Amino acid sequence: MRSAVARQAQGAVTRKNAVGHSLSLNCMELPAHPIAASHARRLAVHTLARWDMQWSTDMAELIMSELVANAVKATGELRDLARAGDASGLREFIRVGLYRFRGRIVIEVWDRGRTPPRTKSGALDDENGRGLQIVDDLADQWGYRWLATGGKVVWATITPHA
Residue burial 114-140, b: 16+ Cβ < 10 Å; e: rest: eeebeeeeeeeeeeeebbbbebeebbe
This prediction's pTM: 0.78
Per-residue pLDDT at 82: 55
The yes-or-no verdict on residue 2 having pLDDT over 60 is: no
Tell me 127's DSSP state.
Answer: S
β-strand partners of 95: 29, 110
Per-residue pLDDT at 5: 39
pLDDT digits (tens, 9 = 90+) for 101-126: 888 999 999 999 888 998 876 655 55
Residue 134 maps to a domain: yes
The yes-or-no verdict on residue 18 having pLDDT over 90 is: no
Residue 148 maps to a domain: yes
- Domain carrying residue 143: 7-158
Compute the average pLDDT of residues 71-95. 68
Using a 10 angstrom Cβ sphere, with 0-12 exposed, 13-18 middle and 19 or more buried, the burial of residue 148 is: exposed
Residue 76 maps to a domain: yes
CATH number for 32: 3.30.565.10
Residue 107 maps to a domain: yes
β-strand partners of 141: 157
**Total domains present in the chain:** 1
Residue 2 maps to a domain: no
The yes-or-no verdict on residue 93 having pLDDT over 80 is: yes
